[in-house]
Amino acid sequence: MAVILVRHPETVDPRVIAGQRDVAVAPHALAAIDSRAASLPPVQHIVSSDLSRCRILAEALAAQRGMACTYDPRWREQSFGVWDGKRWDEVDGREYLEQWTTATPPGGESIDEVQRRVAAALADVAPDGGDHTLVVTHAGPIRCALAIARGLSIEDAFAVPIPFGSWRSL
């Protein structure tokens, strides 16, 4: 499989549970978009989460390379439901965090649901082992894709650090 997964640039307040809300990219990350895009490997296709923090990098990359990009909401971050847009210190997430592999945030989606939609999206970008496709997405979907492609447990995949702007190859 030749899929490159890139995490979006840093957001204005990384302590916020952004989930599936559109949140702004930090000014210093915006200033580095062109250099980040130029540092990524050559690809034949660009796919992005439809959330603006991903689109901004995907569109810069597409413009630099004279390519189009497509948007797929299946590459969105996990929905944390009523917690989206709040900070962890503003919610009582202890019970969820203790059982995050099987629990569902209030009004949100479980990690199993995220993994299923990422598996479907991954199958679409790499149906036969894939050509070189770059996906701009979020830390949760990247870790789910790592679990799927590398046969990792979800706990092991979520132990992999995925800094803002970093990428992993499948």
CA-to-CA separations, 122 to 60, 67, 145, 170, in angstroms, rounded: 22, 20, 7, 10
Catalytic (active-site) positions:
8, 77
Of the CA atoms within 13 Å of residue 45, those in its CB half-sphere come to 15
d(CA 67, CA 99): 42
* Helix boundaries (H) for 32-74: 33-38, 52-65
Q: How far apart are the first and last CA of the chain?
A: 6
